[in-house]
Amino acid sequence: MSKIVIIGSISMDLVMETDRIAEEGQTVFGRKFSMVPGGKGANQAVAVGRLSSNKDKVSMIGAVGNDSFGPILGQNLQENKVSIENVGTVPESSGIAQITIYQQDNRIIYCPGANGLVDSEKWSTEWSTIAEADMVVLQNEIPHQTNLAIARFCQDRQIKLLYNPAPSRASDKEMLELVDYITPNHHEFKELFPNRELEEVLREFPNRLIVTLGTKGSTYYNGEKVQLIPAIKAQVVDTTGAGDTFNGALALALAHQLEMGKALAFATLASHLSVQKFGAQGGMPSLEEMKGHQAYEENWHFE
Protein backbone atom coordinates (compact mmCIF):
# COMPACT_ATOMS: atom_id res chain seq x y z
CA MET A 1 0.00 0.00 0.00
CA SER A 2 1.19 3.52 -0.82
CA LYS A 3 -0.08 6.94 0.21
CA ILE A 4 0.42 9.55 -2.47
CA VAL A 5 -0.40 13.23 -1.96
CA ILE A 6 -0.60 15.60 -4.92
CA ILE A 7 -0.63 19.31 -4.18
CA GLY A 8 -1.39 21.68 -7.02
CA SER A 9 -3.78 23.20 -9.50
CA ILE A 10 -7.33 22.08 -10.26
CA SER A 11 -8.66 23.81 -13.38
CA MET A 12 -11.26 23.68 -16.10
CA ASP A 13 -9.76 23.35 -19.58
CA LEU A 14 -11.57 25.30 -22.31
CA VAL A 15 -10.33 23.60 -25.44
CA MET A 16 -10.68 24.91 -29.00
CA GLU A 17 -9.63 22.65 -31.85
CA THR A 18 -8.80 24.68 -34.93
CA ASP A 19 -7.29 24.40 -38.40
CA ARG A 20 -6.26 28.07 -38.35
CA ILE A 21 -4.57 30.29 -35.77
CA ALA A 22 -5.87 33.87 -35.59
CA GLU A 23 -3.44 36.66 -36.44
CA GLU A 24 -3.56 39.98 -34.55
CA GLY A 25 -6.98 41.63 -35.10
CA GLN A 26 -8.34 38.60 -36.98
CA THR A 27 -11.26 36.22 -36.27
CA VAL A 28 -11.12 32.67 -37.57
CA PHE A 29 -13.51 29.71 -37.29
CA GLY A 30 -12.64 26.94 -34.85
CA ARG A 31 -13.58 23.34 -35.57
CA LYS A 32 -14.74 22.13 -32.15
CA PHE A 33 -15.06 23.39 -28.55
CA SER A 34 -14.92 21.20 -25.41
CA MET A 35 -14.81 21.84 -21.68
CA VAL A 36 -12.91 19.17 -19.71
CA PRO A 37 -11.33 18.93 -16.24
CA GLY A 38 -7.62 19.76 -16.14
CA GLY A 39 -4.91 21.55 -14.17
CA LYS A 40 -1.49 19.98 -13.86
CA GLY A 41 -2.07 19.04 -10.20
CA ALA A 42 -5.49 17.46 -10.78
CA ASN A 43 -4.26 15.73 -13.93
CA GLN A 44 -1.38 14.13 -12.03
CA ALA A 45 -3.76 13.12 -9.23
CA VAL A 46 -6.16 11.50 -11.72
CA ALA A 47 -3.24 9.71 -13.41
CA VAL A 48 -2.23 8.24 -10.02
CA GLY A 49 -5.85 7.50 -9.08
CA ARG A 50 -6.54 5.51 -12.24
CA LEU A 51 -3.30 3.54 -11.91
CA SER A 52 -3.67 2.92 -8.19
CA SER A 53 -5.01 -0.27 -6.64
CA ASN A 54 -7.62 -0.38 -3.87
CA LYS A 55 -4.79 -0.66 -1.35
CA ASP A 56 -3.31 2.73 -2.34
CA LYS A 57 -4.55 6.07 -1.03
CA VAL A 58 -4.44 9.10 -3.33
CA SER A 59 -5.16 12.56 -1.90
CA MET A 60 -5.34 15.98 -3.52
CA ILE A 61 -4.61 19.26 -1.76
CA GLY A 62 -5.71 22.42 -3.55
CA ALA A 63 -8.59 24.80 -4.13
CA VAL A 64 -11.49 25.38 -6.50
CA GLY A 65 -13.55 28.54 -6.90
CA ASN A 66 -17.06 29.24 -5.60
CA ASP A 67 -18.43 29.05 -9.14
CA SER A 68 -20.26 26.39 -11.15
CA PHE A 69 -16.95 24.69 -12.08
CA GLY A 70 -15.92 24.00 -8.45
CA PRO A 71 -18.31 21.08 -7.72
CA ILE A 72 -17.71 19.54 -11.18
CA LEU A 73 -13.94 19.57 -10.66
CA GLY A 74 -14.26 18.06 -7.17
CA GLN A 75 -16.60 15.31 -8.36
CA ASN A 76 -14.26 14.44 -11.23
CA LEU A 77 -11.41 13.86 -8.76
CA GLN A 78 -13.59 11.62 -6.59
CA GLU A 79 -14.70 9.59 -9.60
CA ASN A 80 -11.03 8.88 -10.27
CA LYS A 81 -10.29 7.54 -6.76
CA VAL A 82 -8.78 10.82 -5.50
CA SER A 83 -9.73 11.97 -2.00
CA ILE A 84 -10.81 15.66 -1.87
CA GLU A 85 -10.95 16.03 1.92
CA ASN A 86 -8.28 18.72 1.58
CA VAL A 87 -9.65 20.53 -1.45
CA GLY A 88 -11.09 23.87 -0.33
CA THR A 89 -13.55 26.26 -1.98
CA VAL A 90 -12.37 29.87 -2.02
CA PRO A 91 -14.04 33.20 -2.95
CA GLU A 92 -12.52 33.37 -6.45
CA SER A 93 -13.21 31.82 -9.83
CA SER A 94 -11.80 28.33 -10.50
CA GLY A 95 -8.53 28.04 -12.38
CA ILE A 96 -8.97 28.15 -16.16
CA ALA A 97 -6.71 26.97 -18.96
CA GLN A 98 -7.54 28.21 -22.42
CA ILE A 99 -6.14 25.57 -24.76
CA THR A 100 -5.82 25.80 -28.52
CA ILE A 101 -5.19 22.54 -30.35
CA TYR A 102 -3.64 23.20 -33.71
CA GLN A 103 -1.88 20.60 -35.84
CA GLN A 104 -2.06 18.00 -33.01
CA ASP A 105 -0.15 20.20 -30.58
CA ASN A 106 -1.36 22.52 -27.85
CA ARG A 107 -0.88 26.15 -26.81
CA ILE A 108 -2.09 27.03 -23.32
CA ILE A 109 -2.94 30.27 -21.52
CA TYR A 110 -3.41 29.58 -17.81
CA CYS A 111 -5.25 31.84 -15.36
CA PRO A 112 -4.73 30.57 -11.76
CA GLY A 113 -7.90 31.94 -10.05
CA ALA A 114 -8.48 29.77 -6.94
CA ASN A 115 -5.17 27.93 -7.51
CA GLY A 116 -3.37 31.21 -6.78
CA LEU A 117 -4.89 31.16 -3.27
CA VAL A 118 -3.45 27.78 -2.22
CA ASP A 119 -1.66 29.09 0.84
CA SER A 120 0.16 26.71 3.19
CA GLU A 121 0.09 29.30 6.00
CA LYS A 122 -3.67 28.73 6.32
CA TRP A 123 -3.43 24.93 6.53
CA SER A 124 -4.14 22.56 9.44
CA THR A 125 -5.26 19.01 8.42
CA GLU A 126 -3.32 19.38 5.15
CA TRP A 127 0.00 19.10 7.01
CA SER A 128 -1.02 15.86 8.72
CA THR A 129 -2.06 14.38 5.36
CA ILE A 130 1.36 15.30 3.93
CA ALA A 131 3.14 13.93 7.02
CA GLU A 132 1.68 10.47 6.35
CA ALA A 133 2.59 10.37 2.64
CA ASP A 134 5.00 7.92 1.00
CA MET A 135 5.29 10.29 -1.96
CA VAL A 136 4.37 13.95 -2.42
CA VAL A 137 3.99 15.47 -5.90
CA LEU A 138 4.26 19.18 -6.77
CA GLN A 139 4.10 21.26 -9.95
CA ASN A 140 4.23 25.04 -10.57
CA GLU A 141 0.61 26.16 -10.98
CA ILE A 142 0.22 27.18 -7.31
CA PRO A 143 2.29 29.90 -5.52
CA HIS A 144 6.02 29.27 -5.22
CA GLN A 145 6.03 30.09 -1.48
CA THR A 146 3.56 27.24 -0.85
CA ASN A 147 5.72 24.82 -2.85
CA LEU A 148 8.77 25.94 -0.92
CA ALA A 149 7.08 25.44 2.49
CA ILE A 150 5.96 21.92 1.46
CA ALA A 151 9.42 21.01 0.16
CA ARG A 152 11.05 22.13 3.45
CA PHE A 153 8.44 20.22 5.48
CA CYS A 154 9.06 17.05 3.45
CA GLN A 155 12.83 17.37 3.61
CA ASP A 156 12.75 17.76 7.43
CA ARG A 157 10.68 14.56 7.71
CA GLN A 158 12.40 12.62 4.91
CA ILE A 159 9.18 12.32 2.93
CA LYS A 160 9.89 11.60 -0.75
CA LEU A 161 8.96 14.46 -3.06
CA LEU A 162 8.67 14.54 -6.85
CA TYR A 163 8.76 18.08 -8.27
CA ASN A 164 7.58 18.76 -11.82
CA PRO A 165 8.73 22.36 -12.54
CA ALA A 166 5.97 23.13 -15.05
CA PRO A 167 5.40 25.81 -16.18
CA SER A 168 8.92 26.96 -15.35
CA ARG A 169 9.53 29.94 -13.05
CA ALA A 170 12.69 31.92 -12.30
CA SER A 171 12.45 30.83 -8.64
CA ASP A 172 12.57 27.07 -9.39
CA LYS A 173 16.27 26.76 -8.53
CA GLU A 174 15.44 27.23 -4.82
CA MET A 175 13.59 23.91 -4.92
CA LEU A 176 16.37 21.77 -6.38
CA GLU A 177 18.19 20.83 -3.18
CA LEU A 178 14.97 20.30 -1.23
CA VAL A 179 13.33 17.65 -3.41
CA ASP A 180 14.12 14.01 -4.29
CA TYR A 181 13.09 13.94 -7.95
CA ILE A 182 12.95 16.76 -10.51
CA THR A 183 11.18 16.21 -13.84
CA PRO A 184 11.49 19.16 -16.27
CA ASN A 185 10.80 18.78 -19.97
CA HIS A 186 13.57 19.94 -22.30
CA HIS A 187 12.25 23.57 -22.39
CA GLU A 188 12.03 23.75 -18.59
CA PHE A 189 15.47 22.17 -18.34
CA LYS A 190 16.93 25.04 -20.41
CA GLU A 191 15.31 27.62 -18.14
CA LEU A 192 16.51 25.86 -14.99
CA PHE A 193 20.06 25.36 -16.25
CA PRO A 194 20.75 28.06 -18.86
CA ASN A 195 23.74 27.44 -21.14
CA ARG A 196 24.47 24.04 -19.57
CA GLU A 197 24.91 20.73 -21.41
CA LEU A 198 22.17 18.20 -20.62
CA GLU A 199 24.52 15.30 -19.96
CA GLU A 200 26.79 17.32 -17.68
CA VAL A 201 23.83 18.43 -15.49
CA LEU A 202 22.27 14.93 -15.41
CA ARG A 203 25.53 13.64 -13.92
CA GLU A 204 25.18 16.11 -11.03
CA PHE A 205 21.81 14.60 -10.03
CA PRO A 206 22.14 10.80 -10.21
CA ASN A 207 18.73 9.04 -10.14
CA ARG A 208 17.11 12.39 -9.30
CA LEU A 209 16.90 14.51 -12.44
CA ILE A 210 14.69 13.08 -15.20
CA VAL A 211 14.36 15.17 -18.35
CA THR A 212 11.48 14.39 -20.71
CA LEU A 213 12.31 14.81 -24.39
CA GLY A 214 8.91 14.57 -26.12
CA THR A 215 8.82 11.93 -28.85
CA LYS A 216 12.42 10.90 -28.02
CA GLY A 217 11.53 9.67 -24.52
CA SER A 218 13.16 10.57 -21.22
CA THR A 219 16.72 10.58 -19.89
CA TYR A 220 18.50 10.34 -16.51
CA TYR A 221 21.89 9.41 -15.05
CA ASN A 222 21.87 6.14 -13.09
CA GLY A 223 25.19 6.71 -11.30
CA GLU A 224 27.17 4.89 -14.00
CA LYS A 225 25.87 6.17 -17.30
CA VAL A 226 23.31 8.42 -18.88
CA GLN A 227 20.26 6.37 -19.89
CA LEU A 228 17.61 7.07 -22.50
CA ILE A 229 14.20 5.49 -22.02
CA PRO A 230 12.75 5.72 -25.54
CA ALA A 231 9.16 6.83 -26.06
CA ILE A 232 6.78 4.31 -27.63
CA LYS A 233 5.46 5.40 -31.03
CA ALA A 234 1.75 6.30 -30.86
CA GLN A 235 -1.18 7.37 -33.06
CA VAL A 236 -1.42 10.80 -31.44
CA VAL A 237 -4.84 12.38 -30.90
CA ASP A 238 -3.95 14.95 -28.20
CA THR A 239 -0.69 15.46 -26.29
CA THR A 240 -2.28 17.65 -23.57
CA GLY A 241 -1.64 16.04 -20.20
CA ALA A 242 0.94 13.53 -21.50
CA GLY A 243 3.55 15.03 -19.16
CA ASP A 244 1.10 14.89 -16.25
CA THR A 245 0.35 11.22 -16.95
CA PHE A 246 4.09 10.55 -17.04
CA ASN A 247 4.67 12.34 -13.71
CA GLY A 248 1.71 10.70 -11.97
CA ALA A 249 2.71 7.22 -13.14
CA LEU A 250 6.35 7.82 -12.20
CA ALA A 251 5.37 8.98 -8.70
CA LEU A 252 3.21 5.89 -8.17
CA ALA A 253 5.89 3.51 -9.45
CA LEU A 254 8.57 5.10 -7.24
CA ALA A 255 6.21 4.99 -4.24
CA HIS A 256 5.94 1.24 -4.95
CA GLN A 257 9.77 1.06 -4.67
CA LEU A 258 10.43 0.34 -8.34
CA GLU A 259 13.98 1.18 -9.38
CA MET A 260 14.30 4.24 -11.61
CA GLY A 261 14.69 2.45 -14.97
CA LYS A 262 11.58 0.31 -14.43
CA ALA A 263 9.60 3.23 -12.97
CA LEU A 264 10.40 5.29 -16.07
CA ALA A 265 9.37 2.48 -18.40
CA PHE A 266 6.04 2.30 -16.50
CA ALA A 267 5.55 6.08 -16.87
CA THR A 268 6.48 5.88 -20.56
CA LEU A 269 3.83 3.25 -21.26
CA ALA A 270 1.19 5.28 -19.35
CA SER A 271 1.92 8.47 -21.32
CA HIS A 272 2.02 6.48 -24.59
CA LEU A 273 -1.55 5.33 -23.88
CA SER A 274 -2.66 8.81 -22.75
CA VAL A 275 -1.96 10.65 -26.04
CA GLN A 276 -4.26 8.35 -27.98
CA LYS A 277 -7.45 10.01 -26.71
CA PHE A 278 -8.71 13.60 -26.47
CA GLY A 279 -8.32 15.77 -23.34
CA ALA A 280 -5.70 16.03 -20.62
CA GLN A 281 -7.33 13.24 -18.63
CA GLY A 282 -9.29 11.51 -21.43
CA GLY A 283 -6.62 8.96 -22.32
CA MET A 284 -5.04 8.39 -18.91
CA PRO A 285 -4.94 4.60 -18.49
CA SER A 286 -6.28 2.53 -15.62
CA LEU A 287 -4.09 -0.18 -14.07
CA GLU A 288 -6.25 -2.72 -15.95
CA GLU A 289 -5.39 -1.08 -19.28
CA MET A 290 -1.68 -1.16 -18.37
CA LYS A 291 -1.99 -4.83 -17.48
CA GLY A 292 -3.28 -5.52 -20.98
CA HIS A 293 0.13 -4.52 -22.32
CA GLN A 294 2.83 -7.20 -22.68
CA ALA A 295 5.48 -4.96 -21.08
CA TYR A 296 3.43 -4.85 -17.87
CA GLU A 297 3.57 -8.60 -17.37
CA GLU A 298 7.29 -8.68 -18.16
CA ASN A 299 8.37 -5.80 -15.95
CA TRP A 300 6.14 -4.70 -13.14
CA HIS A 301 3.45 -6.94 -11.62
CA PHE A 302 2.71 -4.49 -8.83
CA GLU A 303 -0.74 -4.34 -7.26
Type and span of the H or E element at 64: strand 57-65
- Quote the CA–CA distance of 48 and 59 in Å, as a whole number: 10
* Contact status: 280 vs ligand RIB (CB under 6 A): yes
**CB nearer ligand RIB, residue 75 or residue 257:** 75
Q: Shortest distance, CB of residue 301 to ligand RIB, whole angstroms?
A: 29
Of residues 2 through 21, those in contact with ligand RIB by CB under 6 A are 11, 13
- Quote the CA–CA distance of 150 and 137 in Å, as a whole number: 10
**CB nearer ligand RIB, residue 87 or residue 280:** 280
Determine whether the annotation assigns residue 11 to a binding site: yes
* Contact status: 217 vs ligand RIB (CB under 6 A): no
Nearest CA to 287 among 58, 10, 35?
A: 58
Q: Is 172 a catalytic residue?
A: no
- Quote the CA–CA distance of 290 and 232 in Å, as a whole number: 14
Other C-beta atoms within 10 Å of 88: how many?
A: 17
SS3 category, 217: strand
Determine whether the annotation assigns residue 218 to a binding site: no
Displacement of CA 234 from its chain's centroid (Å): 20
Annotate each residue in 151-190 with x if it binds ligand RIB (CB under 6 A) or - if it does not, as one string: ----------------------------------------
Would you give the DSSP letter of residue 185? B
Residue of 16, 108, 213, 287 interacting with ligand RIB (CB under 6 A): 108
Annotate each residue in 227-256 with x if it binds ligand RIB (CB under 6 A) or - if it does not, as one string: -------------xx-xx------------
User: Please, what's the b/e burial string for 198-237 (b: 16 or more CB within 10 A of its CB; e: otherwise)?
Assistant: beeebeeeeebbbbbbeeebbbbbeeeeebebebbebeeb
Q: Shortest distance, CB of residue 123 to ligand RIB, whole angstroms?
A: 23
Return binding residues: 11-13, 39-43, 141, 185, 212-217, 238, 240, 243-244, 274, 277, 279
Q: What does the binding site for ligand RIB look like in residue numbers (CB under 6 A)?
A: 11, 13, 38-40, 43, 97, 108, 110, 141, 240-241, 243-244, 280
